[in-house]
Each structure stands twice: as structure tokens, then as C-alpha cells.
């Protein structure tokens, strides 16, 4: 079977960086390029970080296009407490060797999707601003997408407020547009990503494997401190890499078709993903919501693939 074409829209971000590496290391998919959005840090920093990661593994050839500077309607709110001032604190990565492509991310997406011989899967691991703008500005190519797999939301509790997960909370209006678009959508939320932790033992194994593995181990060193301090966990969730892993091997997650609505309302519930798991609200079950994960196989895929990058 030929590799499935994928665009990764992200805000690196430690777990976004791991998702980029997993994409590069996975023959099941062909990474067409990386688009960046303001999220974990400013657009300037997330774009530089995507390029720094690609540089590190010798992929300066891969297109990178920068997108939205800020959410559709809200002020931007970055996450230095989780990802540091650079957005990728921990490893000692040099400055990027290039800037992004001259095109805006959504225009780059449109031409790549329209020109692809096979339908493209869009994996989104940051706030959904670029994706919402893409759907609005380029409806035809957007309709031609194979599907959207996104990291975001939760059936249960959030991580930025008790109600909401960061990516949805950061730009709820964009999320609402994406969730109501009618495009085949898979939501990979905290319900599953919090169940697959990368531990110090995993990081040690990666560190011994080569440049890509060392980078992930250094990322883990910084990123796991936050999760230990907040949750008392002996490891860190690799949220975005789980969404990417699902695009590589769909059997890693169990999903259930549910209706999902996004709360764009007042602060207390801002960004909540209401999931009609049992059909009690009678909402059209338009989203594949991740409800279960084979954590061991997911982490093993991550470790073997990234180790093999050398
Ligand atoms: C999501 O928010 C960001 O901090 C991570 O990169 C991930 O995409 C987890 O809530
Ligand atoms: Ca992210």
C-alpha cells in the first residue's frame, strides 16, 4: 500500500516536536509539510521550532509554512509554564537555518491538497485557527481532505481549566467551526493522551539511539518536570504524538462516533468539548472520539520509530 499523504499543523511545543519526528519516521505516511500556528508560544517561535527540529534530523528540504498569528477572536495565550520561553525549552538546538515558505499556511495547504494525487489527511496538534481559516478560505480543497485528526478536547476534565483542554480553549471559535464542518473528524483528547506517559526509562532508551532519540530525551527532561509538579506523574503525556500515531496505525486507539459541541461561552466553560457519548442529547454522531488507547503499543511504536531515525 502506498503511503498516505499527511500535513501536520502544529505549535511546537515538546509533544508537537515528537509528532514531527514520528511522522518523518513512519513509512505508512508521507509527510508533505508542516504548518505552524500560534499556541504553545508565539507564531514566530513555533515556526522557528518546527524548522529547528527538521534541521536537527537533516530535513531542511521539508516545506514549513507559517499561519495564524493569533486566535480568530481571542487574545493569544501561550503556555511557557509547560513548554518554556522558547516553546521548546530543554534541548540545545541551534537557530533555524531558514525561514518559512513565503506563502501563508492556509494557501500552502490549499495548493498541496488540490495537487495531491491521493486525499490528504490533516493532523492538527495546536489550536485550530489555521484549520478554521483553511475551511473558510478554501472550501473546495478542504472538502477534498481524507480526514482531520486532531489532538484536543476531552470527554472528562480539562488541563488548562477544569472544563477545557488547551488547544480548544485557546481558540474555541475556530474549534466550533472545525467540529461543525462535516469533514471526517477524529478527536484525540486528554481521555486517552493522559493514559500513555513517556517515562524516564523510555527517555533513557531513546537517548542511547541516536540524534533524534537524544532530542526527544532532552525534550522529555524539561517537559516531564511540569507534569511531575502538577500531577505527580512519573512521566509525561505525548499528546500530539498520539494523534499522529493514530494516523500511522488506527488500531492504537478505540473510537466511538459521538456528537460533539464546543462551548464558546463564558470563561468558566470556555473551550469545553461536550461529548454526547451515550446519545442522550440526540446530537448527530459526527465525530470519532478516542475513548481507549493501547498505551504500551503506542509508546513502543514511538520508541522504535524515533530510534530508527538515527
Ligand atoms: C495540547 O496543548 C499543548 O500544550 C500540547 O502541545 C498539546 O497539543 C495538550 O493539551
Ligand atoms: Ca500542540
Which domains are present in the chain? 4-309 (3.90.245.10)
| DSSP-derived pairing of the beta strands 147-151 and 121-124 | parallel
pLDDT over 90 at 53, yes or no: yes
Q: Which of 274, 187, 203 is nearest to 238 (CA)?
A: 203
Question: How much distance in Å is there from the Cα of 189 to the middle of ligand 1?
Answer: 10
**What's the mean pLDDT in 45-72?**
98
Confidence of residue 1 (pLDDT cuts 50, 70, 90): confident
Looking at residue 215, its pLDDT comes to: 97
Average pLDDT, stretch 151-180? 98
Residue 309: the pLDDT is 95
Would you say the CB of residue 40 lies under 6 angstroms from ligand 1? yes
pLDDT recorded at residue 95: 96
Which of 51, 85, 93 lies closest to 214, judged by CA? Answer: 93
Is residue 104 among the annotated active site residues?
A: no
Residue 278: Cβ-neighbour burial (10 angstroms; 0-12, 13-18, 19+): exposed
Residue 172 pLDDT: 98
Confidence class for position 266, pLDDT limits 50, 70, 90: confident
Burial of 232 (0-12, 13-18, 19+ CB in 10 A): exposed
Give the contacts of 250 (CB within 8 A, at least 6 positions apart).
none
What are the CA-CA distances from residue 198 to residues 2, 112, 160 (Å)? 30, 33, 20
Q: For ligand 1, atom 2, which residue shows the shortest CA distance?
A: 166
Residue with the nearest Cα to atom 10 of ligand 1?
A: 166
Q: Kindly give the interhelix angle for 211-231 and 14-24, rounded to the nearest 10 degrees.
A: 150
Amino acid at each position: 500500500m502506498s503511503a498516505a499523504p499527511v500535513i501536520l499543523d502544529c505549535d511546537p511545543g515538546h509533544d508537537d516536536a515528537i509528532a514531527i519526528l514520528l511522522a518523518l519516521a513512519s513509512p505508512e505516511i508521507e509527510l508533505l509539510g508542516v504548518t505552524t500556528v500560534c499556541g504553545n508560544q508565539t507564531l514566530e517561535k513555533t515556526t522557528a521550532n518546527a524548522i529547528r527540529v527538521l534541521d536537527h534530523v537533516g530535513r531542511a528540504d521539508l516545506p514549513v509554512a507559517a499561519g495564524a498569528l493569533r486566535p480568530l477572536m481571542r487574545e493569544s495565550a501561550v503556555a511557557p509554564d509547560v513548554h518554556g520561553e522558547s516553546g521548546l525549552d530543554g534541548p540545545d538546538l541551534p537557530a533555524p537555518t531558514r525561514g518559512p515558505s513565503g506563502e501563508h499556511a492556509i494557501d500552502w495547504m490549499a495548493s498541496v491538497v488540490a495537487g495531491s494525487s491521493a486525499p490528504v489527511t490533516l493532523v492538527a496538534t495546536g489550536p485550530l485557527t489555521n484549520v478554521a481559516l483553511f475551511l473558510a478560505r478554501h472550501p473546495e480543497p478542504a472538502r477534498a481532505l481524507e480526514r482531520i485528526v486532531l489532538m484536543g478536547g476531552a470527554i472528562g476534565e480539562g488541563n488548562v481549566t477544569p472544563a477545557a483542554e488547551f488547544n480548544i480553549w485557546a481558540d474555541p471559535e475556530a474549534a466550533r467551526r472545525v467540529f461543525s464542518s462535516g469533514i471526517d473528524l477524529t478527536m484525540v483528547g486528554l481521555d486517552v493522551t493522559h493514559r500513555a506517559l513517556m517515562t524516564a526509562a523510555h527517555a533513557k532508551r531513546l537517548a542511547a539511539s541516536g540524534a533524534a532519540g537524544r532530542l526527544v530525551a532532552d525534550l522529555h527532561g524539561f517537559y516531564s518536570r511540569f507534569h511531575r509538579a502538577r500531577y505527580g506523574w512519573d512521566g509525561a503525556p505525548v499528546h500530539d504524538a498520539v494523534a499522529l500515531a493514530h494516523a500511522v496505525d488506527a488500531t492504537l486507539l478505540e473510537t466511538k462516533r459521538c456528537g460533539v459541541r464546543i462551548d464558546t461561552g463564558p470563561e468558566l466553560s470556555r473551550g469545553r468539548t461536550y461529548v454526547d457519548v451515550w446519545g442522550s442529547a440526540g446530537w448527530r454522531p459526527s465525530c470519532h472520539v478516542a475513548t481507549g488507547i493501547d498505551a504500551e503499543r503506542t509508546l513502543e511504536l514511538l520508541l522504535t520509530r524515533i530510534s530508527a531515525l538515527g
